[in-house]
Amino acid sequence: MKNICFFNKFKSWGGGEKWHYEACIFFLNQGYNVSLIGHRNGQLLKKLEKIKKINTKKVTGRKYAYLNIITIFKMIYFFKKNKIELIIFNSEEDVKLGSFAAKLSRVKVQVYRNGMPNYIKDENMKKLFQNNIDKVFTNSFEGKQIMEEKNKFLRGKIDVVKNGIVFTESKKKMKSAQDTIILGNAARFDEQKDQKTILKALKLLKESGINFKFLIAGTGKLEEQLEEMKEKFKLTEVEFLGFLDNTSELYEKIDLFILSSIFEGSSNALIESMSFKNSVVVSDIKSNLEIIDNDAFGVSYKVGNSKDLFEKLYELIKSRERLSEMKEKAYMRVENEYNYYNNMKKFENKLLIIYNEKNNFKLLESDY
């Protein structure tokens, strides 16, 4: 197997797009011929177009693009021209648009990577998965469990490959007990990420007399509301950084990372912040607890509960010894479980097994 294609037509940039970008680079470096089908105005496509060795194709983000016969034939031409042997889809919409064309092009293996703890609800989509998708990968055991419970027809087809991060040498210096604690968060500003709960907790933290600074990176539809909350609570300690192309700039500066999501896949931001030896306080949703191993490598609070978040932050900040201990534990956790190269090699090996099993099966069929 040498020719692999990634399919991701999301326009914006997020965790899934970051994973696909890094996966494209990884497989390219492993000697594969890599292709990408992406949104014509998508951030992922724009980034990968700069790499000449990667073949790219633009598709529309329109809802009913899968009904356009010209679009289907163009994809078939792309698959055949680049001799695609295996394709990896990012979303159900990607499967809907590309799976039929892949089958007509005789692409040997179709894979779906699910980066969120959800499942397939649409009956037509279930049939498409049942007939065309050879393997489903989730990035957490929670995601696998949910899909196996809700999509019983996929049992035996689901596997887990955890996210990973590339370790870089941290230049972070140890702080004294008198230094101001720097807290941080990096996420888009919307209801899912729940930064409002953080600001409510910081109001209580300020009233308790704790000296801190809070750096928040991101943009989104709730930006104005969050700015208004900052003014209302008189949180001069809060600094909005806007969108950061390189979030390591944030992780280098902070001591403690807060992840407040109401629901989440396996959070790249959380894993990356831990790799910079930051203590972490996270909402107690299953995917977060999986990463910190039920408070063994971090601290959790009741999701959406600003008072509980405040109490957990207060306790951790008041004990600098525990804060330092949690930093080391966080680093050890991601070094052992979320090493990017190790996890991508596992993913590559699993893909090769699927490809070889299916290819050998087809060879056996052709003997009769």
Q: What is the spatial distance between Cα 103 and Cα 93, in angstroms, rounded to a whole number?
A: 16
Residue with tokens 């163009």: 74
Determine contact, residues 257/279, Cβ cutoff 8 Å. Answer: yes
Cα separations (Å) of 291 from 162, 179, 231?
10, 29, 34
Coil/strand/helix, residue 214: strand
39: left (phi over 0), alpha (psi -120 to 50) or beta: beta
Kind plus residue range of the DSSP H or E element containing 264: none
Position 277 scores a pLDDT of: 93
Cα separations (Å) of 106 from 83, 100, 101, 110, 295?
9, 10, 9, 10, 47
Position 176 scores a pLDDT of: 53
Cα separations (Å) of 332 from 132, 274, 293, 337, 342?
40, 9, 12, 9, 15
pLDDT < 50 positions in the chain = 363-368
Where are any strands of DSSP class E within 95-226? Answer: 109-114, 135-138, 158-160, 181-186, 212-217
The pLDDT tens digits for 91-123 are 999 999 999 999 999 999 999 999 888 999 999
Q: Strands of 238-242's sheet, edge to edge?
A: 238-242, 212-217, 181-186, 256-259, 279-283, 299-301
The pLDDT tens digits for 128-145 are 999 999 999 999 999 999
pTM: 0.81
- Domains of the chain plus CATH, in order, are 3-164+340-366 (3.40.50.2000), 181-337 (3.40.50.2000)
Position 363 scores a pLDDT of: 45
What residues have CB less than 8 Å from 205, skipping those under 6 apart? 212, 310, 313, 314, 317
